[in-house]
Structure 1
């Protein structure tokens, strides 16, 4: 039973837990003279009911889902590079990218199934096709892409069924961009503020990050004379990743805070330094030194991984803090009321 009462001076006898203020609030009264409305009670800091989070907390494992996001991007972009290398007569680069694509997609699916808990849950997602569901579309993409990536790598390594392997390589290269990009709408199609509000730029961040990772692997595994496409992809991928991430943070306003503070902020800053540094080293020196190319490739892979784990961590932090859910909603309501 409430023991509080409302007076001209505010609320008396308010209990801090059961009757906490849910949002930024201020009480005003009409002043006399030229002062107009003036606040009597100072604006309060946000507190949720009982101090509990408003959104359900993210139950996914950072290792599994962060790894799933990273490996999926690496796999899809590797197939694109493999297809280009196959068609331009760069066999060492093509083989390295085919093997990378197979290993990455296998690891991505394994991480997803491990987080789901039971393998049959992944198979259950293939019972229907739902174009409006990123998870349904992604499941079918993986089911289509995986066998082609496997056939491309197996035929190249064994030297058998080369026409089949070439067709599989081209097919995987065609589907690869979708595999690299679909995890962006997958995370954005949630109520998690730091993910949902980044829906415009997130696909570009993921595609650029995947391209940079694949380029890094190509620079590590392929001879310098065949790695020119990888070096170019590193510059384009790292530039797209960093530019899209910066644009996303500038547009999101206060919802960009989880990308700038705490563990998520540290990871994203590390990702920027590693991606740009690796791309620059590979482009400027990697064409002359295999050792520098390898170091640059490792930096690109690490930068891509840091980007994915930074995005995951930012989502966790934004879901935990009710401020990122309620304050933007109230701001939108205020804007809508002012426009009426």
Structure 2
């Protein structure tokens, strides 16, 4: 929520509110004609609190639920794309493993989301309307379009029933797969949380690359070496995209990038980089001839993708807890506008 106080200065904002509703704290007051050079109406903040209250209410989402929801959804969406490619090129073992992985991933993702919401009815209530301006509303309908297709593809493969319908479902899931892998980045960036919102341009690319690396890792673990070529390429290309986008994102975030480098989030992001590189090199290169290297590389790629999602989540929470990540960028923006 936001709360206005005197002199036009807003105090607080809900961390999960859209950024346009974020409060401007410590704003400078201008004269009647907007002349430059006026003195600040309040002293510089010490970035502990504002009248004993935080600037933002930190996200109330549970880390295990929401970070797991982000990771498993990305794994599912990218796995469906890989399954469709494997189906079209005659790689049956790879196609089956990716279909099953997509079903398990989207089921786990939906469970984590509903568990965090507290009651299944809250998820179902979001289906009562379609609101294009809401990433959560759009994401809910994306999941409803994707889930049945991914489920039908996996069940048909495992049971042998309705094979044509199963192949069509595989292609249908692959069409929606990119949206499933990326919409969660838009969802978290469309908030007032500094370390999420400031990375809104690159975060979808980080999540897509991470999802591709995870799906590639799953394929390298589950499929024979002879069929795992597309999975190896997905792990390598996805890892390169993830690392490059993350580096560019941090470079453009200013102060809001600090939580990505420090504390628990920093440790997770460093682990993600190391594991992603290991998965690409071990599985993508050595995995071409060694089943052991393929499995170890695939496990590293999966773990790296999970660390990325958990790292981004914890960085956002840390940035919402510390007022400086909200106050300093807003003051700098006001200074730029004023002079």
Q: TM-score, normalised by structure 1?
A: 0.86
Write the distance in 2 (CA, Å) between the matches of 1:288 and 1:113.
42
Please tell me whether the aligned partners of residues 215 and 233 of structure 1 are also in contact (alpha carbons under 8 angstroms).
yes
Task: Tell me the equivalent position of 1:282.
Answer: 283
2:120 paired with 1:102: no
Q: 2:78·2:177 contact (CA, 8 Å) conserved in 1?
A: yes
Q: What pairs with 1:137-156 in structure 2 (closer than 5 Å)? A: 137-156=138-157
The residue aligned with 1:7 is none
User: Where does residue 67 of structure 2 map in the other structure?
Assistant: 66
1:24–1:44 CA contact under 8 A, matched in 2 = no
Deviations 1:195-234 (A, max 9, x none): 0111000000000000000000000000000000000011
TM-score, L = length of structure 2:
0.87
Cα distance per residue 1:126-164 (max 9 Å; x no partner): 111111110001100111100000000011111110110
Match of 1:249 in 2: 250
Q: How far 1:46 sits from its partner (Å)?
A: 3.2
Give distance in 2, aligned partners of 1:47 and 1:266: 24
Q: How big is the alpha-carbon RMSD for the aligned residues of Structure 1 and Structure 2?
A: 1.5
Unmatched runs of 5 consecutive residues or more in structure 1? 1-21, 26-41
How do 1:1-340 residues align onto structure 2 when only pairs under 5 Å count? 45-338=46-339
What is aligned with 1:39? none
Check whether the contact 1:80–1:172 (CA below 8 A) recurs between aligned residues. yes
Alignment partner, residue 37 of structure 1:
none
Residue aligning to 1:13: none
| Displacement of 1:120 | 0.6
In structure 2, how many angstroms separate the alpha carbons of the residues matched to 1:46 and 1:194?
16
Could you say if the C-alpha distance between residues 24 and 48 of structure 1 is closer, same or farther in structure 2, counting changes exceeding 3 Å?
A: farther
Hey, what's the Cα distance between the residues in 1 that align with 2:45 and 2:291? 59
Identify if the C-alpha distance between structure 1 residues 46 and 23 changes in structure 2 by more than 3 Å, giving closer, same or farther. farther
Matched length: 301
Please give the secondary structure, in 2, of the residue aligned with 1:125.
helix
Corresponding residue number in structure 2 for 1:5 = none
Secondary structure, in 3 states, of the residue corresponding to 2:55? coil
Q: Match of 1:9?
A: none
User: Secondary structure of the residue that 2:128 maps to in structure 1?
Assistant: coil
8 Å Cα contact 1:65/1:115 also seen in 2: yes
Cα distance in structure 2, aligned partners of 1:46 and 1:105:
40
User: Aligned equivalents of 2:64 and 2:45: distance in 1?
Assistant: 38
Gaps of 5+ in 2: 1-24, 29-42
Aligned-partner Cα distance in 2 for 1:147–1:24: 50
Report deviation, 1:277.
1.0
Quote how far apart the aligned CAs of 1:49 are.
1.9
Tell me the secondary structure at the aligned position of residue 278 of structure 1.
helix
Cα displacement (A) at 1:45: 3.6
Q: Secondary structure at the match of 2:327?
A: helix
Instruction: Give yes or no for contact 2:69–2:109 (8 Å, CA) kept in 1.
Output: yes
Task: Tell me, in whole angstroms, the C-alpha distance in 2 between the residues paired with 1:272 and 1:137.
Answer: 31
Q: Is the 8 A contact 2:47 2:322 kept in 1?
A: no
Contact 1:267–1:310, Cα closer than 8 Å, also in 2: yes
CA–CA separation in structure 1 for the residues paired with 2:242 and 2:71: 13
Q: In structure 1, what is the equivalent of residue 11 of structure 2?
A: none
The question of whether the paired residues in 2 share the 8 Å contact of 1:231 and 1:282 is answered with: yes
Measure how far apart 1:44 and its partner are.
Answer: 6.6
In the alignment, is the contact (CA less than 8 A) between 2:209 and 2:242 conserved in 1?
yes
